[in-house]
Structures are given as C-alpha cells and as structure tokens.
Amino acid sequence: MSEAPHLTFDLDKAGMSNGHLVVPEGADCEALSLPVFSFNKGEGPQLLITGGCHGDELEGPIVARRLVEWLPEAQVCGRIVIAPVLNPPAVKACSRNTPIDGLNLNRVFPGRSDGSVTERIADAVSRTLLPWADTVFDLHSFGLNWDFPPSSTTHPIADPVLMAKTLQMAEAFKLPMTLVWEHPGSQGMFDTLAQNQGKVFVCAEFGGGTVSFDAIAIYEAGLRNALIALGLVEGKPDRPTFRHQKVTQTLETRRSSDELKSPSRGIFEPRCSVMDEVNAGEIIGKLYSMDLSTADAIDIRAPGTCIVYAIRSGAYVDVDEGVALVARPVNPNH
C-alpha cells in the first residue's frame, strides 16, 4: 500500500523552513516532491500561496520564488506557506494540463488519493496545505497566446459576506484589473473547494504574453500590496504602472455573452488594446481568410459598451476559437 501524502517538515516550526510536499506514487507515475517554503511568525493571518498549477503559466512560480528572497526580512507576523510549483510534470512540459494523464489540475479538486497523478496532486494539496490556511492566493496567468492585463480575479460567490471579503482582498493587489469572473465550469476548481470551506481565495491572473522582467516586477508589486493589506508585511502599497498608466478597475463578466469567438477560420488581427473601452458595434478585431482579400474580411464587433480585458495574439485561429473577452465595471450595488 502506498504512503499518504505528507510534508517532509513541520509547518508549525517558527521562522523560515522548507522541504517538500510528497505526492505518493501511483500506477502512472513515481512519487513527486513539490517544493514548499514556510515563514512562520506566530499569530496573524494564515496565508497559502500556490503557483505552477498550469505548466505554461510561469509567472506564478517565478514571482513566488522571488518572494522567498525578501520575505524573511519583511514579514512581521502570521504564517505564509508558499508552494511555487504544484504541477512539476506540467511545468516541465510547458503545458496547461498534466502530460501524464491529460488532466487540468484546476478541475480535479479535491482530488483522489487512488486517482491518476493530477488527482493525487490535488488530494495532497487539499489534505496537507489547504486545511490550516484562512486565505489562499493561487498564481495563474493567461499564457503566451493572449494579451491580458495583470489581474486579481474571483468568481461570484453565493455567500455575500465571503464575496465582499474576497473582492476586497482581490482589490488589495492594486493591479490594473480586479475581475469578478462568471465562469462556465467551476466544478473541481481549487477556488470552489477553498470557498466552500469559508476561506478567502484570490486567483492572481498575472497577465498574458511574454514572461518578461518588467512583467514580473508588476506581478511582484501586486503580491506585495496584498501582503501589506493582510498586515503580514509592513509598507505602503504602490499601484504598479502598466503601459504608462497607474489605473485599477474592478470589472465583472456575464457568462453567456462575454466571450467573442471567431466566426470562421482565418488570420485574426487585434484592433484594440486590453483595457480599452469600446462602444456597441465598434471593431475589436478583424478576421481574414488565408487569401487576405478584403471581400472575405470579417469585422468582430463589440456586443455593447464594454471593456476589452483580453485579446488573442494575432494568429491563425480556428472557427469558434475565443478571440476576445469583454467585461463591464462592477455594479456599485453588487
């Protein structure tokens, strides 16, 4: 019989310590050792930071790793546990899903101890890292194929008190966008599991495109702002500059109408930038046949007054492939 998932060190130990979360072996894969860093300064918020759930979103692991450098100096209270790489096989393969079983780690929570490797990772995280945390930051991003602003996101939560607390926490990142994201499939998400246990869970969607030095600096600033808001770190929050602007906006999406899809195959040309406000009927992008003739060009237009918060990189796209995502400012009475 295989061993149970376990940590190789004691999270209750004072000060900085590190080791691994051991995900037991199974029929499909040997045991995995996920790196874990713990910073324990006693009473105060109990924060879990996770990254590398999807292997093609490296902002999270890198920013989490940078945090490990300066946290010992900066932390004033509470406990912060950082697991920068939840899914090493996916990171190695630079793939969203785990290459071994093809599963999306963020759709199989709480996982299964007797399941395939992705389910065993979820089970190990659910059983060892999640229970003691009152707040979770899960570091994601939009990957290379999309332009997307550095953001903190959450989903609509039935409990209004938890919704308000979560939104307030998300806004504390002071990133260019805070997004309340009505998501079609929340089944098996880490968010849902944590929220069902009454925890504050914020997903950082740390942007799209190249993982550059400048991008990483913005993401690190956002995370630092959130730690300051929690009182874990002293300092003054600083709204990072993104493309010449120091702006933050809180937006929300509607499930049914806010993804614009490619009406046919062709070369997609983005015709606006992320965070642009557009009016109903304004052109967001163009789609050309491979022939590039004007006769075939299709305008992709805004469905109403909205803000374009994500736009696909110019590329050949398939029919029904998402090319833009739009949202609107959160209703103040929300």
With b for 16 or more beta-carbon neighbours within 10 A and e for fewer, the 211-230 pattern comes to beeebbebbbbbbbbbbbbb
- Using alpha carbons only, give the angle 55, 59, 63 rounded to the nearest 5 degrees: 125
Spatial separation of the C-alpha atoms in residues 237 and 221, rounded to whole Å: 8
State which residue, 5 or 51, has the beta carbon closest to its own copies.
Answer: 51
State which residue, 84 or 188, has the beta carbon closest to its own copies.
Answer: 84
φ and ψ at residue 60, rounded to 5 degrees: -60, -60
State which residue, 189 or 302, has the beta carbon closest to its own copies.
Answer: 302
73: Cα separation from own chain's centroid:
26
Task: Tell me how far, at minimum, the Cβ of 5 lies from its own copies, in Å.
Answer: 18
Task: Tell me how far, at minimum, the Cβ of 64 lies from its own copies, in Å.
Answer: 8
State which residue, 158 or 295, has the beta carbon closest to its own copies.
Answer: 295
For the chain, give percent helix, strand, coil, nearest 5: 25, 30, 45
State which residue, 121 or 228, has the beta carbon closest to its own copies.
Answer: 121
Task: Tell me how far, at minimum, the Cβ of 270 lies from its own copies, in Å.
Answer: 5
- Using alpha carbons only, give the angle 181, 104, 318 rounded to the nearest 5 degrees: 75
Pair type for strands 150-154 and 177-180: parallel
Interface residues with its own copies (CB under 8 A) are 18, 33, 35, 55-56, 58-59, 61-62, 65-66, 68, 84-85, 88, 91-94, 144-147, 208-214, 216, 243-244, 267, 269-274, 288, 290-294, 311, 313-316
Task: Tell me how far, at minimum, the Cβ of 274 lies from its own copies, in Å.
Answer: 8
Task: Tell me how far, at minimum, the Cβ of 33 lies from its own copies, in Å.
Answer: 8
